[in-house]
Structure 1
């Protein structure tokens, strides 16, 4: 079953002035579009859409919401500059395929989940943080917080922070470091493609 965010009552605790300020924030619009796409994906899964169909559905949503090239570069870290341009392009493509496959797998059913913004958009240097919460049908909550940065005039997600402040980017960097150390970009591309093929 997929992830869901905060309930309407929780969203309503935000004061009207804050809600108006948030509505004007383009970073918030990016996250709301992603949330809507994830709910639609869960509903499609509940309607019988298979993994491939869900991947086709969520792919364009991922492309609009996430800065996949920046995420791939940041996840690789310092070794990125040693990759050839062709390898960089291949890593970005494999990183995207992995991300799409994981969303299509993780958001695989719908049972009334809700996603809502849980507070005002926070500015942190050049980045913004948007906090959301997924609420499941039995009142289970999952925090999904997004770090965004401007790219091409748009605010795009560059990191997802899960429960207890676990950064997806930091986790990826740790995972990729050993792979790159052993086999460079070709090994990383194979690693990403393996995850995309079996994203459980």
Structure 2
């Protein structure tokens, strides 16, 4: 009997090492996907609010903090502006950050403007791309049609935040913005980009926001 106990003891001692490791992996995956999950929930709420007749500003006020928490907007703006970002005067950089936040939130409100039974489904796990991870979620229409959205997640201090969105898994939002923004920035001057973002914000918000 003693010999059996001695043989089993090392096996029992090893078990606690396996369980925490699995739990840690699950916790890590959940923490990486958390910003996407929060955004998906907020967008469903936004759509339902729109269908219930909520004003643009009511939806904007509710969605803005979730977008700011889920996305690393300063990094996305800097990447979208490209190499000329460092040459833009600080005052213009600050104004652009405010406008870019308004533009991002207003774009989501405009795109998710009504609820008809849509739902999001986050695919399990994520794939690595350098230091980043990609979390994929499907927007499923009542008809069953799926629109694939892949979120590039990058470390931001002790958390993870979205730094790009790939529509249908391939079309980069940041790359598209970089193409659009690049033609509107001159060395040391982002006046044209500021004016363009103000116009977009006003149009997307129906005049509720004026940039």
| Shared fold per TM-score greater than 0.5 | yes
d(CA) in 2 for partners of 1:23 and 1:114?
A: 24
Q: Which runs of 5+ in 2 are unaligned?
A: 1-21, 206-211
Contact 2:138 2:147 in 1 (8 A): yes
State the secondary structure of the residue aligned to 2:135: strand
State the secondary structure of the residue aligned to 2:58: helix
Does residue 92 (structure 1) correspond to residue 97 (structure 2)? The answer is yes
Does residue 32 (structure 1) correspond to residue 68 (structure 2)? The answer is no
State the secondary structure of the residue aligned to 1:77: helix
Correspondence for 2:175: 170
- Structure 1 residues 178 and 32 mapped into 2: Cα distance closer, same or farther (>3 Å)? same
Contact 1:97 1:193 in 2 (8 A): no
- Larger Rg: 1 or 2? 2
Contact 2:155 2:161 in 1 (8 A): yes
RMSD: 2.1
d(CA) in 2 for partners of 1:183 and 1:177?
A: 13
d(CA) in 1 for partners of 2:44 and 2:82?
A: 32
Bigger shift: residues 179-188 or 44-53: 179-188
Aligned 1:104-115 pairs, distance under 5 A: 104-115=109-120
Q: Which runs of 5+ in 1 are unaligned?
A: 1-17
d(CA) in 2 for partners of 1:178 and 1:59?
A: 28
State the secondary structure of the residue aligned to 2:190: helix
Correspondence for 1:79: 84
Contact 1:159 1:167 in 2 (8 A): yes
- TM-score normalized with structure 2 length: 0.81
Correspondence for 1:138: 143
Kindly tell me the number of residue pairs found equivalent between the two proteins. Answer: 183
- TM-score normalized with structure 1 length: 0.85
Shift of 1:38: 0.8
After the TM superposition, list the runs of 4 or more consecutive aligned residues in structure 1 that deviate by more than 6 angstroms: none
Q: Which has the higher contact order (CA 8 A, sep 6+)?
A: 1
Contact 1:44 1:54 in 2 (8 A): yes
